[in-house]
Amino acid sequence: QQQVKQSPQSLIVQKGGISIINCAYENTAFDYFPWYQQFPGKGPALLIAIRPDVSEKKEGRFTISFNKSAKQFSLHIMDSQPGDSATYFCAASKRDYKLSFGAGTTVTVRA
């Protein structure tokens, strides 16, 4: 039973468009919410992360929005580029640092 639910399963966006991936969780003890990016044949790599004391974090073209009351968080990829084509995983952990991952979203950016 997945503790973090992620949607959509896949999405296609035009170059320059915005990609939005959503995640929801139930466990209110989670206090760390990272997003990982994975290219085919590679391991996941940390993209950006947020803690529940802030509602938004931005790093370059990537933004996390966090809604503590709704127990939801999302990743926005602005000005999407072909190089952003990858699988994105949201995750959550408590202070024990054991990550619970969402099922993943495959993003395809068309040139």
Partner 1 sequence: NAGVTQTPKFRVLKTGQSMTLLCAQDMNHEYMYWYRQDPGMGLRLIHYSVGEGTTAKGEVPDGYNVSRLKKQNFLLGLESAAPSQTSVYFCASSPLTTEAFFGQGTRLTVV
Residue 61 contacts residue 37 (beta carbons within 8 Å): no
Task: For 107, list phi and psi in degrees, rounded to 5.
Answer: -105, 130
Q: What count of other Cβ atoms lies within 10 Å of the Cβ of residue 38?
A: 16
Examine residue 42 and tell whether it contacts partner 1 (CB under 8 A).
yes
Instruction: Convert residues 83-102 into a mask of x (bound to partner 1 by CB under 8 A) and - (unbound).
Output: ------x---x---xxxxxx
Examine residue 107 and tell whether it contacts partner 1 (CB under 8 A).
no
Residue ranges binding partner 1 (CB under 8 A): 2, 4, 6, 9, 32, 34, 36, 41-46, 49, 89, 93, 97-104
